[in-house]
Amino acid sequence: MNVLIIARGYPTNKYKMNGIFEFDQAKALVEAGHNVFYAAIDLRSLRRWRKWGIERKSIDGVNIYAINIPCGRIPKIVLRKIAFFGLRIIYNKIIKDYRKPDIMHAHFTFFSYIATKLKEETNIPLVITEHSSQINKENINNDLYSIAKIAYSKANALIAVSPYLAMMIFKNFNKESICIPNIVDLDMFEYKEKIERQNFNFVSVGNLIENKRMDLLIEAYYRVFGNNPRVTLSIFGQGPERKMLESLINKYGLNSQIKLMGLCTRERIAEQFKKSDCFVLVSKSETFGVAYVEALACGIPVIATRCGGPEMFVNANNGLMIDINDIEQLTEAMDYMYNHIDNYNRKDISMEIRKKFSAKVVATELTNLYRKILITQ
């Protein structure tokens, strides 16, 4: 089957997480025997330097057609026109180099809306996967709501990456969706016997933004472990709240116990997971929460908030669930993990995740969906 993936971009050495969900899925489809064309339309701001124009390459069997148009702040209607112009250029190159795709699969609201324009011109069936945390809300921005409504109505199938997101899509748009999760790299994030260490290590991964509530995590850590130098916390990620978090760490005199690790490779994060005892992330909202699943794949129990994504995979056997913005519950959970970590079986935690989130499992679900759509055309 010839599949056209429409995405935000693709991972590079400089921007390793750009389009990572879409690209992991594209690789899985290639491994399942499909011919995958990957339209990467990168419209990020002028501050993120990369080459202008079109590039063509193959990575892990995925045929990448990338167009880089640094746009900066321009009206949304203009941005959408530019994006469709880029997608049409890529599509014309694909049919010139190969043939017309059998099916299109777009990710995120913006690119899904752009894909509907190409569907109107080509009549190629369209599958949409929604990841956006902005859709995961009671009150959705009017512009986002309008383009999402159009995109969902024109899709042959709509996928949500978590049951909670599927519920919110139905609530806000009266549209049924199928739940197919993101892929976790189970070769990189794998179970290894933890080396016995004297310290107890908490680890967190996420952008340093208000939604991730890293400040709450630091506050809770201080309350429980401020006087216990044998407990550490490593926070991976970068963002606008870094200086504020550094000030908070300095205020409590925790520089030797809490480390802000900055942006790191997935390999480095996987390495840290295998050395850690517990993963903790207290987001206000998650449509999926791939960092939790990557930690669980390594066998680490987690502390997660009831924020939309983790409810799909966190249970009594692999972690603790707490309410959003509740520091009392967070301190209790961290203290419980410190004193009862041996209650969790790391190998069993990892095996449970491998059964649900492997590339093979997700690619099989997608293949079955594509075939069902094409049969009815």
Instruction: Locate all alpha helices (DSSP H) within the chain, ordered by sequence.
Output: 20-31, 76-97, 109-122, 142-154, 163-173, 214-225, 242-251, 266-275, 290-297, 327-340, 346-357, 359-376
The amino acid that residue 246 corresponds to is E
Torsion from C-alpha of 29, 24, 52, 239, nearest 10 degrees: 160
In angstroms, rounded to a whole number, what is the distance separating the alpha carbons of residues 312 and 79? 34
Are 2-183+358-376 and 200-356 in the same CATH fold?
Answer: yes
Q: What is the mean pLDDT of residues 131-138?
A: 82
In angstroms, rounded to a whole number, what is the distance separating the alpha carbons of residues 105 and 26? 10
Contact between 284 and 325 under an 8 Å Cβ cutoff? The reply is: yes
Confidence band for 29, pLDDT divided at 50, 70 and 90: very high
Nearest to 19 by CA among 37, 35, 42, 2: 42
Residue 220 in 3-state DSSP?
Answer: helix
Domain boundary assignment for the chain = 2-183+358-376, 200-356
Rounded to the nearest angstrom, the gap between the alpha carbon of residue 301 and the centroid of all alpha carbons in its chain is 19
According to the model, what pLDDT value does residue 377 have?
Answer: 78
Fold of 200-356: Rossmann fold (3.40.50)
Backbone angles phi, psi at 209, to 5 degrees: -130, 165
CB atoms within 10 A of CB 139: 7
According to the model, what pLDDT value does residue 43 have?
Answer: 80
Handedness of CA 64, 128, 307, 186 (dihedral sign): negative
pLDDT per residue as tens digits for the range 247-303:
999 999 999 999 999 988 889 999 999 999 999 999 998 989 999 999 999 999 999
**Domain spanning 2-183+358-376: CATH superfamily:** Glycogen Phosphorylase B; (3.40.50.2000)
According to the model, what pLDDT value does residue 209 have?
Answer: 96
